[in-house]
């Protein structure tokens, strides 16, 4: 008695992909809906992931390939879920498959369509550190390796102009400039929300200079800088000046006071950054400015100890929420309170802010569609029945990964597996009762 | 240096081989960079092979729906014995074309995809050179495919039942998540009661005891969960889907044999003994307690009082006991120590409570409150660089560098969470490796934290690593998720097909292969004096092959004979 | 610009499926230039490679052999690449006793994201073999 029945998974990051693969393996048909044009989520934006500094692509690419090739998983990229009606065991779902303008079956990823496009704008996936065209894939190695046309900025689709240079350059007739959104209605027995999280809005703390001082970086920006498939092909050069930094300060806990929780991953990625910097620029001086080091679990502290001293100097501050960054000559000055002595300061070329993980800005919309409650911090709430259940306030709808709260990859996967287990149980009881 | 060759594919010996060679144009990507017509002519005219007929064609997009239909039709109408596809990377479409073969009579392991795009047309600019290279690759592919063997899926019957070792919160959660009318759970607990360490934690937070109590009731009342108390696991053999286990009852020394498809190790953890560290010296008569003892006291009627029964006037709560010594942070202590600090204050507002910590580690999204509650309750929080204890005299170095000493009526220590004493025993029994801390080693810290190298054996709770009650239950549910989606009652498992086998004739039983196999897929057959591969467990990596001095191993889909054909062509 | 000879070395690369082969694919989709004289042969793990295969490949006339796998710690099969490394070191010694230049055999670690690096490794190795000249075994009467 195999488990048949359809399942909806929203979000194709590590949690969504893992849950999808598990359920597909149990013969369920999975609709995997992803709002971006590519799958892989946030993990693929890191060159390496802690604690082993394992190559993220090596880790995730087989999972992405499995998802795309699994006959039981229908991956709907560049799509959003607009309605989830019904109840556990019988949900009616409306999915809007946004117009990509390029056929997923005909396009073979040759890339000939990019060059002729006359429109150039910032690539948001690359944290605006490099430009893209109106027809683009977010990065080299994107999966699916099929571009999308940004309809808003396309001269033809957004501007009504008579341009079809990309279509003309395509030897496969894969581009359809008259494409339109498609509405798909499916019936599923259960839903898993694995929509991830976002980074704390750093511009809300003007004292840190993010957005005003070019040498101040958000964590994702630095990840892309270090990435070998990133905007600088892995070279660490400062924006605007293109200089290689000689000194870098990494400031921990940015946003912890405001959010009133510890995001649990920032200390580790801050040490990872220190390791990246020292590895790439052996003469660089790195400083981690911190007040409490949070490295729970068996795997993390040893990494911290290996970075401390060897790759970075640890600078304690008695009040991490009162650190500030200002301009100083051609560089930056970081000021931080220290209970023992009068306020300290440090001159560096570059500052990286270890920012809190916060709820994704689209989650309120998703919560409404999915009919689920959010917790006070804005994340999707579980029933909290003291058993590790991943069920939300709506029966049959589950959550996994950072959509539920800040956590590392390991815990996202554990939650995805838990949710998949709970869904599998529903589907079995469905099958036996029908 | 002749390599042992087992019977190659029967087909190319007995019948005339007919190889279909289909080259994908992939638009200008291959057709534009490589002279396909020349390749087709050259290969059609090859006289390298006796008794081999070659049919060579090109096609627009073989991976498209019409392309796949075309291929299927071609295979069927031509009756090909082998198939070679010159196209893109196997990572793109190997499974696509295997799928096509599966619809026909052609065994999918007698087909091969040759990468003439990513490794040829896309990286060689000169058309002449690219053509020569593509042709070379395709010829190598033909030579190789002719040496490939038919391989078949061998679906295995499986037992969906599960053995759970350990009746604590993790074990119980796994049992409740897994049990159903067509899946029995055997929950084995060495002590005389369920609940594990959580029983001692069950008194102090509102509702906490009830939750645990209800769980125990649910487990005991569940007809699909068979609970064995006072029982140990004596012996385990088998593999995913087919484990045979012997249980030993401590009471009547009876052995019970059970079978299961999976094993969940929820053997728990234990507390580090602070006296193993030079930092903490105290005797049994000192008022020094571990956090667990204090929890038990708070759960009792008298509260956390001194041996004399009097209220302590000052209490020191020392965090991170064992953190430096073990080199990991247990992740739960800051949270519960602040809880205990507040409990002392609630017990009596006059108690002077001081917490000594190295870092505040409160990683859960709702735990930051604990810190503010402790502060609001008037708990003194002192950050230290180092600390030591003699009885209830605490010597510490503040973060500023100042050294200080203070005496307390009572000292509470938060010891690190360690692997339980049984861990090594189970590691041996189940052939699961241990990590550098003595916890069970997971397959992959990030993408597969509950799996182990012995597929079918899962590790949850504190057995995996230091964690609290809620994380333990989460891990338990994750293992349940894996089992529920992989071991489905009535369905068979299909293990890896391209595995390795050992020739009895050539094997000397040296055991090198056995030692290097991380999956434990090779076992020793003493009666024949050889090593044998369990094809249900083998992943086909070939590490064993590299270790064999006798040439007795055959990696079925990657034999040296097959690889030599590719080498041969490359070096022509 | 190139060195004296017209010599184009025949180099065989044994790439592990999970990391290096993926890097080679990435180099391909990035349209990086790679020497046509380099032939890719895919294996599941670098640990699969044994001495017979490598020596036979030399005897058949390879001027150089590149074995490439995942970085230590990243092996898809756990520890395969550690075994590959050990066997490799041993084989280099064996090559010396056979009067073969161990520099003709190289073991590299390339991860799936390192398309550019893969191209660099292949390019540099090809240059090195060009300088070493043709494999003397091809004309040898010893084997």
In a domain, A315, yes or no: yes
Range of the domain at C123: 11-136
Q: Do C36 and B130 touch (CB under 8 A)?
A: yes
Residue C96 falls inside a structural domain: yes
Q: Which helix (H) or strand (E) holds B247?
A: strand B242-249
What is the band of B48 on the pLDDT scale with cuts at 50, 70, 90? confident
| Nearest to C122, CA basis, from C53, C59, C65 | C65
Identify the pLDDT of residue C142.
58
| pLDDT given at position A213 | 96
Is the CB of C10 less than 8 angstroms away from the CB of B89?
Answer: no
**Residue A1 in domain:** no
Smallest Cα distance from A141 to chain C, Å? 7
The reply to whether A156 and A234 lie within a common domain is no
Q: For C116, which of A109, A145, A228 is closest by C-beta distance?
A: A228
Contact B555 C49 (CB under 8 A): no
A288 touches B: beta carbon within 8 Å? no
Structural domains of chain B, ranges and CATH numbers in brackets: 10-151 (3.40.50), 162-270+419-486 (3.50.50.60), 276-414 (3.50.50.60), 500-555 (3.30.70.20)
User: In terms of Cα–Cα distance, which of C88, C102, C106 is closest to C50?
Assistant: C88
Same domain, A253 and A366: no
Residues B147, B56 contacting (CB under 8 angstroms): no
The answer to whether residue C58 is domain-embedded is: yes
At A133, give phi and psi (nearest 5°).
-95, 175
**pLDDT tens digits, residue range B170-192?**
999 999 999 999 999 999 999 99
Indicate whether C115 pLDDT > 90: no
Residue C59 maps to a domain:
yes
Q: What is the CATH number of the domain that holds A35?
A: 3.50.50.60
User: Are A39 and A187 in the same domain?
Assistant: yes
Same domain, A233 and A351: yes
Q: Is A23 on the interface with B (CB under 8 A)?
A: yes
List pLDDT tens digits, range C35-55. 999 999 999 999 999 999 999
Residues 307-336 of A with CB under 8 A from B: 316
Q: Which residues of B touch C55 (CB under 8 A)?
A: 1
pLDDT digits (tens, 9 = 90+) for C70-82: 888 788 888 888 9
Structure tokens at A308: 């401390």
**Residue A50 domain flag:** yes
- Chain C residues lying within 8 Å of A109, measured CB to CB: 29
C53 lies in a domain? yes
Which chain B residues are closer than 8 Å to A420 by Cβ?
A: 481, 484-485
Identify the closest residue of chain A to B207 by CA–CA distance. A386
What are the chain A neighbours of B211 within 8 Å (beta carbons)? 386
- Does residue A213 belong to any structural domain of this protein? yes
Q: Could you tell me which residue, B4 or A40, shows the higher pLDDT?
A: A40
Complex ipTM:
0.95
Give me the percent of chain B exceeding a pLDDT of 90: 82
Quick check: is C141 in a domain? Answer: no
Q: Which of A304, A328, A357 is the last residue of a domain?
A: A357
Same domain, A294 and A397: no
> Do A239 and A342 have their domain in common?
yes
Q: Which domain holds residue A275?
A: 200-357
- The confidence score (pLDDT) of residue A328 equals 94
Whether A189 and A150 map to the same domain: the answer is: no
The model's confidence at residue B51, banded by pLDDT at 50, 70 and 90, is: confident
Substitution target in B124, B514, B543, B548 with the highest count of C β-carbons within 10 Å is B543
Within 10 Å of residue A82's Cβ, how many Cβ atoms? Answer: 14
| Residue B166 predicted with pLDDT over 50 | yes
For A363-370, which contacts have Cβ atoms below 8 Å and span 24 or more sequence positions? A363/A195, A363/A403, A366/A10, A366/A81, A366/A193, A366/A195, A369/A81, A369/A82, A369/A83, A369/A84, A370/A10, A370/A81, A370/A84, A370/A191, A370/A193, A370/A394, A370/A397
Assess contact for B269 and B463: CB atoms under 8 A.
Answer: yes
Note whether A13 contacts B: Cβ–Cβ < 8 A. Answer: no
On chain A, the residues whose CB falls within 8 A of the CB of B495 are: none
> CB–CB of A39/A75 below 8 Å?
yes
| Residue C2 covered by a domain | no
Each residue's pLDDT tens digit in chain A (434 positions)? 334 489 999 999 999 999 999 999 988 899 999 999 999 999 999 999 998 888 888 789 889 999 998 999 999 999 999 999 999 999 999 999 999 999 998 888 888 999 999 999 999 999 999 999 999 999 988 999 999 999 999 999 999 999 999 999 998 899 999 999 999 999 999 999 999 999 999 999 999 999 999 999 999 999 999 998 899 989 999 998 899 999 999 999 999 999 999 999 999 999 999 999 999 999 999 999 999 999 999 999 999 999 999 999 999 998 999 999 999 999 999 999 986 677 899 999 999 999 999 999 999 999 999 999 999 999 999 998 778 999 999 999 999 999 999 999 999 999 999 999 999 988 887 666 65
Say if residue A94 is in the same domain as residue A140. no
Q: Tell if the CB–CB gap between C36 and B133 is shorter than 8 Å.
A: yes
Cβ–Cβ contact C123 with B under 8 A: no
Residue B55, φ and ψ in degrees, nearest 5:
-115, 115
For A7, what's the count of Cα atoms within 13 Å in the CB-facing half-sphere?
A: 38
List chains adjacent to chain A, taking adjacency as at least 3 C-beta pairs closer than 8 Å.
B, C
Query: Can you give the pTM of this predicted structure?
Result: 0.90
Q: Name the neighbours of B, counting chains with at least 3 Cβ pairs within 8 A.
A: A, C
Q: What is the CATH number of the domain that holds A143?
A: 3.30.70
Of B130, B136, B542, the CB nearest to C44: B542
CB contacts, 8 Å: C80 with chain B: 541, 543
- Chain A residues with CB-CB distance to C24 below 8 A: none
Q: Which two tokens stand for residue B19?
A: 């190889």
Tokens describing residue B306: 């001194």
Q: CA-to-CA distance for A296 and A309, rounded, in angstroms?
A: 20
Considering the domain architecture, whether residues A327 and A215 belong to the same structural domain is answered as yes
Domain termination site, one of A177, A209, A228 = A177
HEC string for B533-547:
ECCCCCCCCCHHHHH
Per-chain mean pLDDT for chain B: 92
Flag whether A370 is in a domain. yes
Contacts of residue C52 in chain B, CB cutoff 8 Å? 1, 3, 551, 560
pLDDT band at C1 (very low <50, low <70, confident <90, very high): very low
The number of distinct structural domains making up chain C is 1
Could you tell me the sign of the dihedral formed by the alpha carbons of A284, A285, A289, A292, in that order? positive
Q: What angle do CA A113, A114, A119 make, to 5 degrees?
A: 120
How confident is the model over C24-38, as a mean pLDDT? Answer: 91
> Cβ of A261 and B29 within 8 Å?
no
CATH no. for residue C25? 3.40.50
Among residues A428, A430, A423, the alpha carbon closest in space to that of A9 is found at A423
Q: Do A42 and A191 belong together in one domain? A: yes
What residue of C is the nearest CA neighbor of A140? C30
Residue B10 has pLDDT above 70, yes or no: no
pLDDT of residue A108: 82
Same domain for A43 and A89, yes or no, is yes
Same domain, A77 and A143: no
Q: Establish if C125 belongs to a structural domain.
A: yes
The reported pLDDT for the residue numbered B253 is 86
Nearest chain A CA: its distance from C27 CA (Å) = 10
- A57 contact residues in C (CB cutoff 8 A): 22, 111-113
Closest-CA residue in chain A for C23? A58
**Predicted confidence (pLDDT) per residue in C69-114, tens digit:** 988 878 888 888 899 999 999 999 999 998 899 999 999 999 887 8
**What span, in angstroms and rounded, lies between the C-alpha atoms of A208 and A324?**
5
Q: Do C10 and B126 make contact, defined as CB atoms within 8 angstroms?
A: no
Q: pLDDT tens digits for B66-98?
A: 899 999 999 999 999 999 999 999 988 898 899
CA distance B455 to chain A (A): 15
CB–CB contact A62 C18 (8 Å): yes
pLDDT one-digit tens code per residue, B421-460? 999 999 999 988 899 999 999 989 999 999 998 899 999 9
Split at pLDDT 50, 70, 90, the class of B1 is very low
pLDDT of C143 strictly over 70 = no
For residue B203, the model assigns a pLDDT of 66
Tokens of B117: 């795009």
Residue C141's pLDDT band (cuts 50, 70, 90): low
Answer yes or no: is C3 within a domain. Answer: no
Helix (H, G, I), strand (E, B) or coil at B35: coil
Assigned domain for A404 exists: yes
- Measure CB to CB from residue A61 to each of C22, C71, C116 and give the nearest one: C22
Report yes or no: B511 and B524 within 8 Å, Cβ to Cβ: yes
End-of-domain residue from the set A341, A357, A373: A357
| Residues A23/A420, Cβ–Cβ less than 8 Å | yes
Residues 3-62 of chain A with CB under 8 A from chain C are: 47, 52, 54-59, 61-62
| Average confidence (pLDDT) over C130-136 | 93
Work out how many domains chain A is built from and give that number: 3
Q: Is residue A262 part of a domain?
A: yes
> Count of A–C CB contacts within 8 Å?
52
Mean pLDDT computed over B502-530: 93
């Amino acid at each position: 008695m195999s488990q048949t029945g359809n399942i909806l998974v929203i979000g194709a990051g590590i949690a969504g992909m893992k849950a999808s693969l598990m359920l597909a393996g149990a013969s369920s048909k999975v609709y995997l809906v992803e709002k971006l044009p590519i799958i892989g989520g946030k993990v693929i934006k890191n060159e390496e992931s802690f604690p082993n500094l394992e190559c993220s692509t090596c880790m995730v690419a087989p999972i992405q390939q499995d998802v795309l090739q699994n006959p039981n998983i229908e991956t709907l990229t560049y799509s959003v879920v607009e309605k989830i009606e019904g109840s556990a065991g019988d949900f009616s779902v409306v999915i809007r498959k946004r117009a990509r303008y390029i056929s997923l079956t005909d396009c073979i990823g040759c890339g000939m369509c990019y060059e002729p496009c006359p429109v150039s704008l910032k690539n948001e996936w690359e944290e605006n550190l490099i430009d893209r065209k109106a027809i683009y894939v977010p990065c080299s190695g994107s999966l699916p390796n099929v571009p999308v046309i940004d309809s808003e900025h396309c001269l033809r689709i957004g501007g009504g102009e008579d341009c079809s240079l990309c279509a003309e350059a395509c030897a496969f007739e894969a581009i359809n400039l008259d494409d339109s959104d498609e509405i798909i209605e499916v019936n599923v027995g259960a839903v898993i929300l694995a929509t991830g999280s976002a980074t704390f809005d750093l511009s809300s703390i003007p004292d840190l200079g993010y957005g005003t001082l070019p040498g101040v970086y958000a964590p994702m920006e630095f990840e892309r800088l270090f990435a070998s498939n990133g905007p600088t092909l892995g070279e660490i050069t400062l924006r605007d000046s293109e200089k290689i930094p000689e000194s870098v300060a990494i400031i921990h806990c940015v946003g912890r006071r405001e959010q009133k929780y510890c995001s649990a991953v920032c200390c580790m990625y801050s040490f990872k950054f220190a390791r990246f910097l020292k590895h790439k620029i052996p003469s660089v001086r790195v400083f981690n400015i911190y007040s409490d080091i949070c490295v729970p679990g068996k795997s993390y502290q040893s990494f911290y100890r290996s970075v401390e001293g060897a790759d970075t100097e640890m600078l304690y501050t008695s009040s991490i929420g009162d650190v500030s960054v200002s301009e100083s000559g051609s560089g930056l000055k970081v000021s931080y309170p220290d209970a023992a002595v009068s306020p300290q300061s440090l001159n560096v070329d570059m500052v990286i802010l270890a920012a809190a993980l916060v709820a994704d800005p689209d989650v309120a919309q998703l919560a409404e569609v999915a009919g689920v409650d959010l917790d006070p911090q804005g994340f999707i709430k579980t029933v909290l029945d003291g058993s590790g259940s991943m069920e939300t306030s709506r029966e049959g709808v589950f959550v996994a990964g950072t959509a539920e709260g800040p956590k590392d990859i390991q815990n996202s996967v554990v939650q995805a597996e838990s949710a998949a287990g709970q869904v599998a149980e529903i589907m079995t009881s469905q099958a036996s009762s029908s | 240096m002749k390599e042992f060759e087992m019977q190659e594919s029967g087909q190319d010996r007995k019948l005339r081989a007919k190889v279909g060679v289909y080259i994908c144009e992939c638009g200008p990507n291959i057709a534009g960079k490589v002279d396909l017509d020349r390749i087709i002519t050259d290969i059609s005219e090859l006289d390298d092979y006796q008794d081999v007929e070659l049919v060579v064609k090109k096609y627009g997009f073989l991976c498209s729906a019409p392309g796949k239909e075309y291929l299927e039709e071609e295979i069927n109408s031509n009756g090909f014995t082998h198939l070679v596809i010159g196209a893109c990377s196997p990572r793109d479409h190997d499974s696509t074309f295997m799928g096509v073969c599966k619809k026909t009579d052609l065994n999918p392991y007698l087909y091969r995809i040759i990468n003439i795009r990513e490794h040829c047309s896309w990286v060689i600019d000169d058309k002449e050179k690219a053509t020569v290279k593509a042709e070379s690759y395709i010829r190598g592919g033909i030579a190789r495919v002719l040496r490939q063997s038919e391989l078949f899926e061998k679906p295995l019957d499986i037992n969906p039942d599960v053995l759970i070792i350990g009746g604590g919160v993790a074990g119980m959660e796994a049992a409740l998540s897994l049990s159903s009318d067509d899946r029995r759970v055997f929950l084995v607990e060495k002590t005389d009661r369920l609940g594990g360490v959580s029983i001692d934690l069950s008194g102090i937070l509102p509702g906490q005891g009830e939750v645990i109590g209800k769980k125990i009731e649910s487990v005991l009342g569940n007809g699909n969960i068979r609970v064995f108390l006072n029982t140990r696991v004596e012996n385990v053999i088998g593999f995913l889907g087919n484990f045979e286990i012997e249980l030993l009852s401590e009471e009547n020394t009876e052995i019970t044999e059970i079978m299961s498809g999976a094993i969940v190790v929820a053997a728990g953890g234990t507390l580090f003994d602070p006296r193993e560290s030079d930092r903490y010296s105290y005797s049994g008569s000192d008022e020094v307690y571990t956090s667990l003892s204090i929890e038990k006291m708070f759960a009792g009627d008298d509260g956390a009082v001194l041996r004399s029964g009097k209220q302590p006037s000052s209490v020191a709560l020392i965090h991170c006991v064992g953190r430096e010594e073990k080199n990991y942070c247990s992740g739960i202590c800051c949270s519960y120590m602040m809880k205990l600090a507040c409990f002392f204050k609630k017990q009596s507002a006059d108690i002077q409570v001081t917490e000594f910590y190295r870092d505040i580690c409160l990683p859960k999204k709702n735990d930051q409150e604990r810190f503010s509650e402790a502060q609001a309750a008037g708990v003194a929080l002192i950050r230290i660089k180092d600390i030591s204890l003699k009885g209830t005299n605490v010597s510490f170095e503040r973060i500023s560098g100042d050294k200080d000493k203070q005496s307390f009526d009572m000292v509470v220590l938060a010891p690190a969470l360690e692997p339980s004493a049984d861990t090594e025993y189970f590691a041996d029994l189940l052939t699961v490796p241990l990590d550098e801390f003595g916890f069970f080693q997971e397959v992959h810290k990030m993408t597969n934290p509950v799996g182990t190298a012995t597929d079918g054996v899962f590790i949850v709770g504190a057995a995996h690593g230091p964690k609290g009650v809620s994380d333990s239950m989460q891990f338990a549910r994750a293992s349940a998720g894996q089992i529920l989606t992989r071991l489905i009652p009535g369905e068979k498992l299909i293990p890896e097909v391209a595995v390795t086998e050992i020739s009895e004739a050539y094997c000397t039983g040296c055991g090198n292969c056995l030692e290097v196999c991380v999956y434990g897929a090779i076992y020793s057959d003493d009666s024949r004096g050889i090593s044998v591969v369990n094809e249900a467990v083998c992943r086909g990596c070939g590490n064993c092959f590299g270790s064999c001095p006798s040439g007795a191993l055959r990696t079925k889909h990657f034999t040296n004979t097959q690889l030599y054909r590719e080498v041969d062509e490359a070096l022509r | 610009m190139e060195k004296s000879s017209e010599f184009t070395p025949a180099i065989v690369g044994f790439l592990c499926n999970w990391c290096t082969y993926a890097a080679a694919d990435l180099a391909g989709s990035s349209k990086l230039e790679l020497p046509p004289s380099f032939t890719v042969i895919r294996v599941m793990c670098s640990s699969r490679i044994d001495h017979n295969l490598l020596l036979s490949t030399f005897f058949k006339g390879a001027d150089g052999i590149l074995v490439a796998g995942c970085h230590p710690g990243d092996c898809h099969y756990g520890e395969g690449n550690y075994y590959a490394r050990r066997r490799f070191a041993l084989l280099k010694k064996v090559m010396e006793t056979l009067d073969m230049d161990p520099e003709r055999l190289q073991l590299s670690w390339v991860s799936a994201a390192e398309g550019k690096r893969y191209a660099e490794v292949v390019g540099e190795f090809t240059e090195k073999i060009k300088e070493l000249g043709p494999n003397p075994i091809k004309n040898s009467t010893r084997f």
